[in-house]
Structure 1
Amino acid sequence: MTQNETSLMIESLVRPIGPSLFELISLAVVEADTRTNGVTADTIGLSHTIMVRALARTLLIDHEHCPIGWVVEGQGHRMAQTILRHTETGITLRLLKESTVNPNGVPHAGRNLARRSAWSGAVPLEGLDLGHRTATSLTCLLLWKKDGDKISLRVVHTVEEGRYGAGTAVDLDIQLGATATEVTVHRTFHTGDDTDFFYVDTERDDAGEVL
């Protein structure tokens, strides 16, 4: 399977569940706003981020909210870690808040070895062949962001560990919306010995990063 075919396959998996994920994450963010109301300014970022993940995880575990063909994984006791895995392909979506210090909003892996391996694109899209094996090591990030009253959600596939304050390169970026038609996809393709991975250019605020 070529990189383009794999990229299209990931899009085909994500596009139909985009609206339900968008609604679920929006509910979690709004509820987290209410529950963290009154929390001191120096801890609100961390408290709110963890609360969003905890609420989203709870909703996903409810089978009425978890997309068909996907299961909830991750260690909930570790800062509400929330991962969705597609049962047929093994592709995973890891729920995180967008970075507010990295230029493209994609969080860096940090020092954790498992995250560093996942972020580095252990199974690059151009090398993936789902005809012979499942993509058990292909991790995508499900990133949410709130800007005023606007909530956004996207799926990205990283190709490097990234660094704090610097862009983390991705070769696939899918912007989700309230409907399946509200999807914007950006890809890069392997055209030779060198691959020009891209950094999505988005505006950031000056708040600190919370993963």
Structure 2
Amino acid sequence: MPADATRATVEALLSTVGQSLYEGVTVGLAASDTLMGRVPYREDYPWLASAHARVGARNYWRDNGIGDGWSLRGNPRLMGQTLLEHAEESVVLRLLKERRRTYPGGVPVAGSNEARRQEWRQPPLDVAVDNAPTSASKTVLLLLWDRQVDSGRDVVTVRAVHTLAPGVYGRAVPIDMSFDIEPGGTVFDQLAYRGDDQPDDFFPHIVRDDNEGTGTGNAQ
């Protein structure tokens, strides 16, 4: 995909696999619930539930496929790292847990790993930027999932975001695209925040790399 790809281009691509993306996440969460039910003192291991969910989602896409043109990438030995790649359009989705309780805006920062920092650091989708790395071979989107209880119902949310910078702990990661993926696979453009500063310290004891391994596997 060229560096000046538009939001409409990305939306069209995601729409072809929206149902598969949402189902993969929900199947992964169901598998996590089953496994966590067997873990003594499971309330002490919230990170394990997220890891189980990632493994379950990856296995779902491995067994059922993602969609035409899409393939499963990433190194599962790196904490179940899961990347979904559309080679023809040069788009990679990186599966991560959204963390609205600890990250302003919910988008995880890249951390200190330089390879991840480069993935998060991208030119805007709609415009070409002078001196930007327009020869970048791939457009990376973070496929973020979250789980909340709303009026007694278990609600799963899935969205794809396009980051512009690695982010700084305690501040929202800047993004220029956010597409909600609904249960039926419908994709909605829901970019509503622009990375406003947050004065509160959200990161006194955060474990920075518990989402996945820091390597980038086959997506480089």
TM-score tier (shorter):
0.7 to 0.9
Aligned-partner SS, 2:106: coil
- 2:188 equivalent to 1:184: yes
Corresponding residue for residue 25 of structure 1: 25
Q: Is the 8 A contact 2:181 2:188 kept in 1?
A: yes
Corresponding residue for residue 16 of structure 1: 16
Q: How many residues align?
A: 192
**Structure 1 CA distance for aligned equivalents of residues 34 and 189 of structure 2:** 33
Q: Is the 8 A contact 2:3 2:135 kept in 1?
A: no
- 2:196 equivalent to 1:165: no
**Structure 2 CA distance for aligned equivalents of residues 162 and 77 of structure 1:** 26
**Structure 2 CA distance for aligned equivalents of residues 155 and 120 of structure 1:** 16
**Structure 2 CA distance for aligned equivalents of residues 2 and 28 of structure 1:** 32
Q: Is the 8 A contact 1:88 1:134 kept in 2?
A: no
**What is the CA deviation profile of residues 29-70 of structure 1, one whole-angstrom value per residue up to 9, with x for unaligned ones?**
1210120123435642211111111111111112x3322210
- Structure 1 residue runs of 4+, over 6 Å off? none
Aligned-partner SS, 2:159: strand
**Structure 1 CA distance for aligned equivalents of residues 114 and 178 of structure 2:** 24
Corresponding residue for residue 35 of structure 1: 35
**Structure 2 CA distance for aligned equivalents of residues 60 and 134 of structure 1:** 30
Letter in 1 for 2:168: R
Distance 1:166 1:12, change over 3 A: same
**Structure 2 CA distance for aligned equivalents of residues 162 and 114 of structure 1:** 14
Distance 1:177 1:117, change over 3 A: same
- 2:142 equivalent to 1:141: yes
Deviation at 1:24, TM superposition (A): 1.6
**Structure 2 CA distance for aligned equivalents of residues 57 and 94 of structure 1:** 11
Corresponding residue for residue 94 of structure 1: 94
RMSD over aligned CA atoms reads: 2.9
TM-score by length of 1: 0.80
Aligned-partner SS, 1:144: strand
Q: Is the 8 A contact 2:161 2:177 kept in 1?
A: yes
Corresponding residue for residue 72 of structure 1: 72
Corresponding residue for residue 51 of structure 1: 52
Of 156, 160, 174, the match for 1:155: 160
Q: Is the 8 A contact 1:102 1:166 kept in 2?
A: yes
Q: Is the 8 A contact 2:16 2:67 kept in 1?
A: no
Q: Is the 8 A contact 1:60 1:66 kept in 2?
A: yes
TM-score by length of 2: 0.77
Deviation at 1:178, TM superposition (A): 1.6
Aligned-partner SS, 1:156: strand
Which runs of 5 or more residues in structure 2 are unaligned? Answer: 197-201, 212-220
Distance 1:41 1:35, change over 3 A: closer
Distance 1:199 1:25, change over 3 A: same
Corresponding residue for residue 106 of structure 1: 107
